[in-house]
Copies of this chain bind each other. A is one copy, B any other.
């Protein structure tokens, strides 16, 4: 079993205004995701960085472990600190449908604030560190802090938009288009989290997973990725991917709406 620890290029600044007792102190995406609202000193009384306690704790998991399984109940909201994961549902015929691939900074369970039932499973794709927030605290903050409500709503709206994009992919687009779009989507999201160097980025996603996400078979994914490589659109090796011809890839996988 390979331990695909996600060694993203680039290293964040270490010293920070935040207390050093929390792992958030040297989180590299803290300023770039929901945590920027969550941990800002101005935003609440109880939620202050530096004192990890009843409202927040951190955990780690090995790659390929399930973090949560569909049907469980939970009172916590998870946020990825480092590593990748994915949401999926297990179908009766042992196939998986991947609902989303999650990168550092993503909220794993954004609706857990309102719905304790977990409707899907989540599995670590690489070794993973994540943070758990107590739903009750976040809920309190939600109604106390308008900026937080807005930020959270924006999160949900963005996820909905993303799901619509997936529906378009699976409903109306060819294998080439789906895979190109998936790559471009990940590129964009990683870019926003400062996890791209030049045109390449960490890519711990097996073709089996791409297949489960795009509704294709691993064999077909292999054929398509191979053709992309031969066409000079991408390069990829163990755990990374580089976009060689961005316009070309966009011509195939861009959502031209």
A-to-B contact residues, CB < 8 Å: 70, 89-92, 95, 97, 99, 111, 113-115, 119-120, 142-143, 146, 149-150, 153-154, 156-157, 159-161, 163-164, 166-168, 170-172, 213-215, 256-257
Q: Closest 4 interchain pairs by CB?
A: A171-B215, A170-B170, A114-B153, A115-B157
Which of B97, B143, B156 is the one whose CB lies under 8 Å from A146?
Answer: B143
**Given that A99-B167, A120-B164, A172-B91 are known contacts, is A157 also in contact with B114, CB under 8 Å in the complex?**
yes
Distance in angstroms from A73 CB to nearest chain B CB is 14
Distance in angstroms from A32 CB to nearest chain B CB is 20
Contact B143 A91 (CB under 8 A): no
In the complex, chain B residues whose CB is within 8 Å of the CB of A153:
111, 113-115
- Output the residue of A143, A156, A256 with the most chain B CB within 10 A: A156
Contact A171 B257 (CB under 8 A): no
Contact A92 B257 (CB under 8 A): yes
In the complex, chain B residues whose CB is within 8 Å of the CB of A256:
91-92
Contact B159 A95 (CB under 8 A): no
Distance in angstroms from A206 CB to nearest chain B CB is 17
In whole angstroms, what is the CA distance A150 to B171 when docked?
A: 32
Contact B149 A143 (CB under 8 A): yes
Distance in angstroms from A60 CB to nearest chain B CB is 27
Chain B minimum-CB-distance residue to A110:
B160
Which of B143, B167, B215 is the one whose CB lies under 8 Å from A97?
Answer: B167
In the complex, chain B residues whose CB is within 8 Å of the CB of A113:
153
Distance in angstroms from A231 CB to nearest chain B CB is 22
Chain B minimum-CB-distance residue to A170:
B170
In whole angstroms, what is the CA distance A115 to B161 when docked?
A: 11
In the complex, chain B residues whose CB is within 8 Å of the CB of A92:
256-257
